[in-house]
Structure 1
Amino acid sequence: MAANKKRFKLKIANKNYVVIGDSTPEHMRAVSHLVNEQLTEIMSENVSREDAAVLLAINAVSDQLRKQKELDDIKDKKSHDGEQ
């Protein structure tokens, strides 16, 4: 394990996980809180934990792609504005 990597113990949907990364404890608490919140919301529709996890992953990737497109559009606009 690299020197800058840390272990984080998270409880997601009443199951314990150990995550290794270079995030701050505050960041991982926020991630854990949001994942639990979103899983709880999805699971309230009577889907299994596995299905809820897949749906949460789909939502997260979709949001990531949308944000990346927004960033790309901003960069394109800035580069076009700079050409004038």
Structure 2
Amino acid sequence: MAEQKRRFKVVIDGKTYIIIGNASDAHIQAVTQLVNDELTQIKSLATTLDDEQAAVLLAINTVSDQLRLQTKLERLEKENEQLKQQLAAQN
């Protein structure tokens, strides 16, 4: 049976949002905290950005980080598979 989606009320950059998903409370809290921390950092470094520009920059940074981590994960999975094959060949 699929997990039931829940509604989460979060505050990001002083604005309230409703997020619907099947994540845990702890996960949503961690995501909210990270988004708020990143927005605060972006706004402190680039004080001329408006809210929308800061949000777009945060999205770009987040997707960039995700792609970098995805590439690393794929490389590690490939290395892991190669090591498994080497180990199997030794046995």
| Fold match by TM threshold 0.5 | yes
- Code of the residue aligned with 1:12 in structure 2: it is I
Q: Which residue of 1 aligns with 2:38?
A: 38
Instruction: Note the aligned Cα RMSD (angstroms).
Output: 1.4
> What is the number of equivalent residue pairs in this alignment?
83
Larger radius of gyration: 2
Structure 1 residues 23 and 3: alpha-carbon distance in aligned structure 2, compared to 1, 3 A threshold: closer
Partner Cα distance (2:84, 2:37) in 1 = 42
> Equivalent residues in 2 for 1:51-70 (5 A)?
51-70=53-72
Q: TM-score, normalised by structure 2?
A: 0.84
Deviation string 1:4-53 (CA, Å, 9 cap, x unpaired) is 10000011111110000000111111111110111011112211110110
- Is the partner of 2:8 in helix, strand or coil? strand
- Code of the residue aligned with 1:34 in structure 2: it is L
Partner Cα distance (2:3, 2:30) in 1 = 23
Unaligned runs of 5+ in 1: none
Identical counterparts, % of pairs: 46
Partner Cα distance (1:82, 1:37) in 2 = 40
**Structure 1 stretches of at least 4 aligned residues deviating more than 6 Å after TM superposition:** none
Q: TM-score, normalised by structure 1?
A: 0.90
- Is the partner of 1:23 in helix, strand or coil? coil
